[in-house]
């Protein structure tokens, strides 16, 4: 098929590259001139494992290209994906200005029947607004091209997005137009060869499904973090509790790992947007609000643990932070727990040295102009002369450190493990003052 993808950000780029890999011809439209030029040279502007080889093959075989020219991008398109950003507004609602701007562009330029697909995470009712916007533009220019608007939310995990797209658990398609559903079924057929993965529903149900999925996962995380705080006070070990409940097939092991709180571009933003929708509809989501509030508190836990060790006095202290991205295998630091920790440490008078395999540059940009923060290119270099080491992101390289070397390089051997990566007894035997999440012993 001939596809157009508006937005060469995380979702748009992964979508375009994966469809091109399956033999489709994809044009990706983006307003950022530098990004377009870099992508046409094969330079991937984000860290996502497996994305660069797909882009390289697509460019070499002429199946993918990037442009700022919307008319060129839409020429001959059978399916048009809207994958632009929906940043939160001041009231927490999703800002649809970019989505609706694309809808106006599509309505102004299409010259044939096509399917318009909302790939961005959008509030319930957005498909209707996109359809109305396109209809107005078509009427304004006196055109009568047939089109359908489909909701097709993405379910991509940063760091594993290529696998998620190529081997999806489900493909949600929200539409009432049989011909559009048939087009989506044909487009996704290469991803559903083993068994049918399309779940067809109405557009509003598809839009709500996306928010419901992310919210459910966020609720699980916040529940475990609150349970971890209780476990510490009761003298229980949350890791044993996690294994105990995770073995129940009704619960399962995913998203029940305690930690410093969730971040990233999806969970916090989507919870805010869903809460705003529930407020507008006078249908309170008290569990969702509680999960959001619990996560805001959880992001303060690592600093609070260190404050107990230092008696609240960080003046002259040097802190090392292992892990800056909100999760491993990405350079995304949006709403990452590390940012709140670093900000609190700097505000308390400590200096902070961070290390992350991918996210150092992005973090330096956030703290540009703030005295006391720097990054280095080696985990042990970050710990050199440190009075406390925080493990914030569970990158694989942090899982089995040389504790003897680490102890020798630190000025004060205090280790606060925000991911429960280490055996407490072994770390203490190595000479560290050790604390973690939800483990009293």
Which of the residues are catalytic?
A: 266
C-alpha closest to that of 309 among 353, 356, 348: 348
126-140 helix and 97-109 helix, angle to the nearest 10 degrees? 40
User: Are the CB atoms for 294 and 226 separated by under 8 Å?
Assistant: yes
User: Are the CB atoms for 273 and 92 separated by under 8 Å?
Assistant: yes
Provide the 8-state DSSP code for 380: H
User: Are the CB atoms for 64 and 101 separated by under 8 Å?
Assistant: no
User: Are the CB atoms for 353 and 184 separated by under 8 Å?
Assistant: no
User: Are the CB atoms for 288 and 215 separated by under 8 Å?
Assistant: yes
Tokens for 399, please give them.
């899982």
Q: How far apart are CA 233 and CA 221, in angstroms?
A: 19
Q: How many CB atoms lie within 10 A of CB 408?
A: 13
C-alpha closest to that of 203 among 135, 109, 112, 132: 132
Q: How far apart are CA 285 and CA 411, in angstroms?
A: 48
User: Are the CB atoms for 413 and 407 separated by under 8 Å?
Assistant: yes
Tokens for 226, please give them.
């609150």
The residue count for the chain: 441
User: Are the CB atoms for 354 and 333 separated by under 8 Å?
Assistant: no
């Amino acid at each position: 098929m001939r596809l157009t993808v508006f937005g060469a950000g995380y979702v748009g780029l992964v979508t375009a590259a994966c469809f091109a890999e399956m033999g489709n011809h994809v044009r990706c439209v983006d307003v950022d001139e530098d990004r377009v030029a870099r992508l046409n040279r094969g330079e991937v502007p984000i860290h996502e494992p497996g994305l660069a080889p797909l882009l390289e093959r697509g460019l070499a075989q002429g199946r993918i290209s990037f442009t700022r020219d919307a008319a060129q991008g839409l020429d001959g398109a059978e399916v048009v994906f809207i994958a632009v950003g929906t940043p939160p507004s001041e009231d927490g609602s999703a800002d649809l200005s970019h989505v609706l701007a694309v809808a106006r562009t599509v309505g102004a330029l299409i010259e044939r029947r096509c399917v318009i697909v909302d790939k961005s995470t959008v509030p319930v009712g957005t498909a209707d607004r996109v359809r109305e916007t396109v209809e107005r533009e078509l009427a304004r220019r006196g055109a009568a091209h047939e089109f359908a608007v489909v909701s097709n939310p993405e379910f991509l995990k940063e760091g594993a997005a290529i696998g998620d797209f190529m081997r999806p658990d489900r493909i949600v398609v929200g539409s009432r137009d049989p011909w559009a559903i048939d087009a989506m079924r044909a487009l996704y057929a290469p991803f559903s060869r083993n068994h049918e993965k399309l779940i067809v529903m109405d557009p509003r149900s598809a839009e709500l499904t996306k928010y419901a999925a992310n919210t459910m996962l966020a609720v699980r995380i916040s529940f475990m973090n609150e349970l971890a705080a209780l476990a510490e006070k009761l003298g229980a070990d949350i890791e044993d509790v996690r294994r105990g409940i995770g073995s129940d097939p009704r619960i399962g092991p995913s998203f029940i790992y305690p930690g410093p709180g969730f971040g990233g571009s999806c969970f916090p933003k989507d919870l805010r947007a869903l809460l705003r929708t529930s407020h507008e509809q006078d249908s309170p989501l008290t569990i969702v609000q509680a999960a959001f509030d619990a996560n805001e508190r959880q992001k303060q836990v690592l600093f609070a643990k260190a404050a107990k060790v230092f008696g609240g006095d960080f003046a002259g202290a040097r802190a090392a932070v292992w892990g800056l991205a909100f999760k491993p295998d990405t350079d995304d630091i949006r709403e990452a727990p590390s940012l709140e920790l670093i900000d609190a440490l700097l505000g308390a008078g400590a200096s902070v040295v961070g290390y992350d395999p991918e996210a150092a540059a992005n973090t330096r940009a956030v703290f540009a102009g703030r005295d006391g923060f720097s990054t280095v290119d080696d985990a042990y270099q970050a710990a050199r002369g440190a009075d406390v080491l925080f493990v914030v992101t569970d990158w694989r390289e942090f899982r089995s450190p040389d504790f003897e070397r680490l102890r020798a390089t630190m000025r004060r051997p205090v280790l606060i493990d925000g991911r429960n990566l280490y055996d407490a007894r072994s770390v203490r035997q190595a000479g560290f003052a050790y604390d973690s999440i939800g483990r009293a012993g």
